[in-house]
Amino acid sequence: MHNYCSNCLLPTSKPFIKFDKYGKCSACIFHEKKNSNRKNKINWIKRKKEFEKLITKIQKRKAPYYDVCVPVSGGKDSITQVSHLLNKGLRILAINIDYGIKTEIGHHNLSCISKMGANLITYRPDLKLHKKILKISFLKFGDPDLMSHCMLHALPIRIAIELKVPMILLGENAALEYSGSKSINEKKMSKQWFENYASNSGMTPIKFSKLFKIPYKKLKMYDLPTALELKKIEAVFCSYYFKWSSENNFKIAKTFGFKSLRKNTEGTYRSYVGIDEKINRVHQYLKLLKFGYGRATDHACEDVRNNKISRKKAIELVKKYDRVKLSNYFINDFIKFINIDLKTFNITLEKYKNKKIWQRNKKKLIKIKEIK
Ligand SMILES: [Zn+2]
């Protein structure tokens, strides 16, 4: 049996990924659909027109405060999302969630949003509760971002509905872009999408609340509104209307003042991803331990699909960057933030290291079935 996609390097251990009879993964198949000019493939001109039509419809709604919301981290993607809405006479409200661990460059990049023609609000969750949630998520699920990820998707939609904003422009549809899932609505956010792709490990805020005895009313902002409430808003993915590409988004964001690091981000060879806060690096490292692929794999796969590098070069990059040890720069702040000691941190990493993927070796990560 094959262990990696025959075109890119995604492993069979990636959740939700599927392969065709030639060993090609569903993310690669979706990519071809996105980029090919053949009939029955995605018609981007038509999609853009559909977007313009939606905007006209939204403007006619004469909302009381804002016409459209955009969830923003200050990353290249969110700046690009906002850019698609500019110069249309729209009142844009960008919503950012700040968990208190933003980097300096993250603060700078977020400030670009209000300079480009959007209003910006930053929501700071109750850190007493949020740190408790992070700690449980890390220790019990090996994923510190478990509930943060839910909040990131749910809270901006809830705020938008409360403010009677008729539309929210979400980022990429991760289900399609990275897993090539066919069973979900490609245009709109849904309960099914949220439960599969926002709540990893199937752990929804309701389940989390019951399991760890945190009153659900305190977790409501982490959870998607009901289907009935969702009907009040056009919660659409930007990647449905515009061809999603990290590199293009980076180019667009730069024109609005977005800054990247001088060197590569730890765990990959790119310099412009995951730079706005620190916990994501811990999340990415755990993803590597659990499923056998990290950030460099994500990026190398994208570059292979775009014919920027060969599969052979991609393997080299993955071996060089994916398995780089998590540095103290991230560990120290993380353990201080959630109040655990280094020993507990290391034991937890070891607990989530997938023994079917990684060989026993204390110093280095060595794969049992190396990428070929
Ligand atoms: Zn693939």
264-321 per-position pLDDT tens digit: 999 999 988 888 888 999 999 999 999 999 999 999 999 999 999 999 999 999 999 9
33 CA to centre of ligand 1 in angstroms: 13
28 CA to centre of ligand 1 in angstroms: 4
346 CA to centre of ligand 1 in angstroms: 32
16-44 per-position pLDDT tens digit: 899 999 999 999 998 988 887 666 688 99
pTM: 0.92
51 CA to centre of ligand 1 in angstroms: 29
List of residues 6+ apart from 141 with CB closer than 8 A: 200, 201, 203
Give pLDDT, residue 360.
80
17 CA to centre of ligand 1 in angstroms: 9
6 CA to centre of ligand 1 in angstroms: 7
13 CA to centre of ligand 1 in angstroms: 13
CA distance 333 to 172: 29
Give pLDDT, residue 338.
96
12 CA to centre of ligand 1 in angstroms: 10
Give pLDDT, residue 157.
98
Give pLDDT, residue 1.
56
31 CA to centre of ligand 1 in angstroms: 9
Give pLDDT, residue 322.
95
Q: What is the largest CA-CA distance in the chain?
A: 62
**Residues with pLDDT less than 70, the chain:** 1-2, 37-40, 201
